[in-house]
Chain A
Amino acid sequence: MTLQPHTVNGPSPAHSTLRASHSDERVPLEIHDLTVAYHKKPVLWGIDLTVPKGKLVGIVGPNGAGKSTLIKAVMGLIPLSSGWVKIFGEPYKKNLVRVGYVPQRESVDWDFPVSVMDVVLMGRYGRLGLVKRPSRQDRDVARECLDKVKMLPFANRQIANLSGGQQQRVFLARALAQESDLYFMDEPFGGVDAATETAIITLLHELKNRGKTLLVVHHDLPTARNYFDMLLLLNMRVVAFGRTEEVFTYELLQTTYGGRLTILSEVAHAVGQREA
């Protein structure tokens, strides 16, 4: 079964107000037979995935496993070769405002002439749609979100003067300002300091407890075990998807990382820690 590649033609007029997450019993994310190819070379093969509501899901796999590609494909940022994606039972375009996104920190130019506040306000843009400007309420929401990541004192700074951890918090605040029900985060722990890492994981758990569903691309195996409710082991295809304690096994991780020795020793260490 094939579906036309996603094309995003402006925001959806529906869902201008935030729907309470718990009132919706539909599945947040359903992926069926998704295949993505770059220059005719497949990077993701026949992905099937159903993510239940209110879970913090880690996406784990070696470099080039297609982790970022998966979340970009789901959001329609790259065309699908085949398969379909449903967000709360509908195509992505219909549920734009219910999806929040934290791209990789390196994907933007941090010398860009905008303030921290400007960036967080961009989280409100999806709700505003075309032309409409952010209102006072939008600014209030943005300020609240900045406060949640402890970046409010930096609101009027230019983004160039921030540390890596602070930049990541700004991106997180922007995602919070989206007030979505389903979040995709591309390596939110990449290159951040220990204090920020703790702050971020606390925040992610808080979001989960409020009924949000989060899919997080993660690089570090040992912490993956402690951070996430569920793990998606990915290497061009779904190696395993399930509760962390069921999936985080030596055999499955070995299949995922396929004989890469350095990583295997890391896995052995992580598994050893778990069994100790």
Chain B
Amino acid sequence: MNYHSRFTIHHSSFWWLLLLFLPLTAYADKIGDVSDTSMLEQAVRFFTFRDPAVRYALIGSILLGISCGLLGSFIVVRKMALVGDALSHAVLPGVALGFLWSIAKNPLSPKDPLVIFIGATIAGLVGTTVVGLIKQTTRLKEDTALGMVLAAFFSVGICLVTMIQRLPTGNKSGLDKFLFGQAAAISASDVTLMTIVTVLAVVIITVFYKEFLVTSFDAGFARASGFPAQLIHHALMLLLAFAVVIALQAVGVVLVSAMLIIPAAAAYLLTDRMSRMLLLSAVFGMAAGSAGAFLSFLGNNLPTGPFMVLGATAVFILAFLLGPRHGVVVRWWRQRSRAKRVQRENSLKSIYHVWEAREFKGEGVSLSELAERRRETIEEAKSQATELSRYHLATLHEDGNMIFLTPEGWQRACSIVRNHRLWELYLTNAAQIAADHVHEDAEKIEHVLGEEVVRQLERRLDYATKDPHGRLIPSLSDVRKGTAPSARPEESIGYGRRL
């Protein structure tokens, strides 16, 4: 099996990872834990869904991926990423207290998901309220308030969790898994709760999409149009708290905000429509969630959170590199092809210059002339000529010494020279720049001027025939002729200007 071979190669590195997580894996003694099986067996177990623990883990991971992906999109476009982080850390005391409450209710099976859910949600909302209060009553800004609340609530949570683990019933509780996540600890009642929350999130976001969109983009306008922006904000925060809390079991308190932000950030790089961003983000969240669950399972129930977040990060890196519009690779490729085009155009221009110096006598230009003009070696000139012939802009004579421009090559060469000289003239005439200051600028601008702009320039310069250095400016008819003047001896460059 494919997976098997791939992962046996990295077996040793897996053990290193295991060592890193040793303090946590020491507790990994819950459902679905099979410490002596090989990775192949684990993979088979995962994909055959025989084990209900595997089923719950996978379904749960997919559900949390969807809800975190959807709500994360709004967090990202509303620039509230830190709020997600603070919220997720603030829930820990609630988780611990909910746990204590369920011990008090039923000491034999102390993990009642609903009680923990309620406790965590309340703690999260208290945390965000405290942030709001600090912001309103002091001069402190939101980021400072968020940082404080995050740390303070998290510390309280850690203290409570440590205390509970010292209780006789707390020891086997699995409460520690709320820190870094354990998908295999997801139970049937967890899945029910996750389904309810995810369906709720999907329905509310679909029904109130318009309201979420307008209040996120322009809250002032939304309120002026009669939308209760404040209420919608609170609804979003509540949904966010729900999404964080249902994700806790699998991702863990520490990393759950990453599942909100990273899939959404990757989606943001790939599209510029909110609806598509939501969809992509949910898909990425799903993929990262299930990949994390699988990898964790493969490594005998390593903490799931880090693997899910690594999965999401991998998606983000791919989007960052390969995104069709803003991707680094695409941008690099575009830049490279532009640089190559400029290089070709400069070679054509040099050929024109050499030929012009001979008053366009002869059929073509020799390699040594071109090399001399460009201050290059013959080899460099030759590789340039080959490049031109590859684009059908020039042909290289059989003995490899002479370059002839094709009609297309002539047109390009002629229009580049025309752009350059018209721009120089425009700078000296209209912008009052000295004639010896304009060349550098024209060197750049000649490659980007469009035909319409050039014709406007020409009109504004009253169809002048000579550039500031006294050389003839090729006219549009020279460009359009498509043949070098040698083929039409009765005409010279710059002739037939007012076409």
Contact = CB atoms under 8 A, between A and B. Distances in A.
B225 A125 contact: yes
A242 to B, nearest CB: 27
22 contacts: A10-B227, A10-B228, A11-B227, A96-B225, A101-B221, A109-B77, A109-B79, A114-B213, A115-B272, A118-B274, A122-B213, A122-B221, A122-B222, A122-B225, A125-B210, A126-B227, A129-B226, A131-B210, A131-B211, A134-B210, A158-B273, A160-B272
B272 A103 contact: no
A101 B224 contact: yes
Contacts of B224: 75-77, 96, 99, 101
Nearest to B216: A112
Interface residues of A, number: 38
A130 B274 contact: no
Contacts of B223: 8, 75-77
B213 A128 contact: no
B218 interface: yes
A122 B220 CA distance: 12
Contact of A125 (B227, B228, B268): B227
A52 to B, nearest CB: 22
Interface in A126-158: 126, 128-134, 158
A113 B226 contact: no
Given A10-B226, A77-B224, A96-B225, 11 more contacts: A8-B226, A8-B227, A12-B226, A103-B221, A109-B77, A113-B77, A114-B274, A118-B213, A122-B214, A129-B226, A160-B272
Contact of A103 (B207, B211, B218, B273): B218
A75 B273 CA distance: 30
Contacts of B213: 114, 118, 122
Interface string B417-445: 00000000000000000000000000000
Contacts of B218: 103, 107-108, 122
Contacts of A113: 77, 268, 271-274, 276-277
Interface in B249-279: 268, 271-274, 276-277
10 tightest Cβ-Cβ pairs between the two chains A and B: A126-B225, A11-B226, A158-B272, A101-B224, A96-B226, A75-B224, A113-B272, A108-B218, A113-B274, A103-B220
B217 interface: yes
Interface in B67-102: 77, 79
Contacts of A132: 210
Interface in B220-256: 220-228
B208 interface: yes
Contacts of B273: 113-115, 118, 158
